Chain A
Amino acid sequence: MNMKILVVDDFSTMRRIIKNLLQDLGYMNIVEADDGNTALPILKKGSIDFLVTDWNMPGMTGINLLKEVRADEKLSSLPVLMVTAEQKREQIVEAAEAGVNGYIVKPFTAATLKEKIDKIFERIDG
């Protein structure tokens, strides 16, 4: 439960909502970034265990951040959960092909967030 989570979303209210939900699930170690460009240097410092990112953000989008993460030798196996309003089938397929570990569409519930996080870590631990 001491896992360090980076939450990336351009809307501070959405970051606050996700942060509150994660804290409810017992994850207290949370850092924030408002797009891929600010997230990437934080990730490259190397202390993040789990990335939760939006797709549509100015600067670097979530899908490009995911691609950067997968292309980086040290970050390539970092679990990534996408929480986004993007719901075109082609986009979901693209995220899957880019190596996303979970995909949640907004609006979402606390139960969905918990279920997807549990599933991601069950797979990793298993």
Chain B
Amino acid sequence: MLEDNKLVTEDNIARAKDLLGCLERNDEEGAREIIDELALVRETELYQEMGKLTRELHDSISAFGMDTQIVNIAKEEIPDARSRLRHVIKLTDEAANSTLTAVEECVPLCDDLKNRSSALYEKWKRFVQRDMDISEFREMSGLIGQFLEDNTRETEAVRTRLNDILMAQTFQDLTSQIIKRVIALVEDVESNLVNLIKLTGKGNAELDKLVHEEDLLAPKGPPVPGVDKGVVSGQDEVDELLSSLGF
């Protein structure tokens, strides 16, 4: 700070006395020379102070940039985290697709079994009520034999697909581990950013002014409990809101 540099020196006192003498003698040129000298003293102090501040800033920036942890975060860990998160998307996509495939293959098998068993049940009821002639009974026996044979094969196929669905859920364990690692990185980045903000010397009030106002209509994706505000809690609230708007 400028106040730290002493202005009260013997040289300056002598200069002041000389200046007073010049003014009393009406020696304008002499007074001007002394004022210029004093201005030079002042400027030199200013340059020294600026030099000191520049050095401090340079040292701080160098210290920050040379921090190996930050270099490592920027060069390795963030690109790594991107790849890890892409892998999470891939794993969840594969799990969802293999589950959907299994379901799509099961649906026609279940439909077939259901349709044939309900048709057979209708025939069976007529048989029990003795409302069936021998030729129809023979036809029904053939259908029952065929149905039992197909049923064994088709339920086995459904069982295999249920197992596929079960195995597809292993993504949860894998993706959780990957995401936990990325959360740890985000925490590191956060603490380094806090240090950087401290370095700029901005107070919380100043920083609050810099926080952008949220665009309420921009798409946000799924709301996260405890994070997103102003969101409805579910379909019932959506319905209530829409009905209050005349829907």
Contacts and interface: CB of A to CB of B under 8 A. Distances in A.
Contacts of B238: 87, 92, 103-105
B221 interface: yes
30 contacts: A12-B97, A13-B96, A13-B100, A16-B97, A16-B100, A17-B100, A20-B100, A20-B103, A20-B104, A55-B219, A56-B219, A56-B220, A56-B221, A63-B217, A85-B221, A86-B219, A87-B223, A88-B217, A88-B220, A89-B230, A89-B241, A90-B217, A90-B230, A91-B216, A91-B217, A92-B238, A93-B241, A93-B245, A96-B242, A106-B222
B232 A87 contact: yes
Interface string A8-21: 00001100110010
Interface size class of B (residues with CB under 8 A): 20 to 34
Pick the most buried of A17, A85, A87: most chain B CB atoms within 10 A of its CB. Answer: A87
B229 to A, nearest CB: 9
Given A96-B242, A105-B238, A89 B232 contact: yes
Interface of A: 12-13, 16-17, 20, 55-56, 61, 63, 85-94, 96, 103-106, 108, 112
Nearest to A94: B217
Contacts of A89: 230-232, 241
Interface of B: 93, 96-97, 100, 103-104, 107, 216-217, 219-223, 228, 230-232, 234-235, 238, 241-242, 245, 247
Pick the most buried of A55, A103, A112: most chain B CB atoms within 10 A of its CB. Answer: A103
Nearest to A17: B100
Contacts, number: 67
A16 B95 CA distance: 13
Contact of A96 (B104, B107, B216, B245): B245
B241 A92 contact: yes
Contacts of B97: 12-13, 16
Contacts of B230: 88-90
Contacts of A93: 241, 245
Given A89-B230, A89-B232, A96-B245, 5 more contacts: A63-B217, A88-B223, A88-B230, A90-B216, A92-B241
Contacts of B93: 13
B242 A103 contact: yes
Contacts of A91: 216-217, 219
Contacts of B219: 55-56, 61, 86, 91
Nearest to B89: A11
Contact of B235 (A17, A61, A108): A108
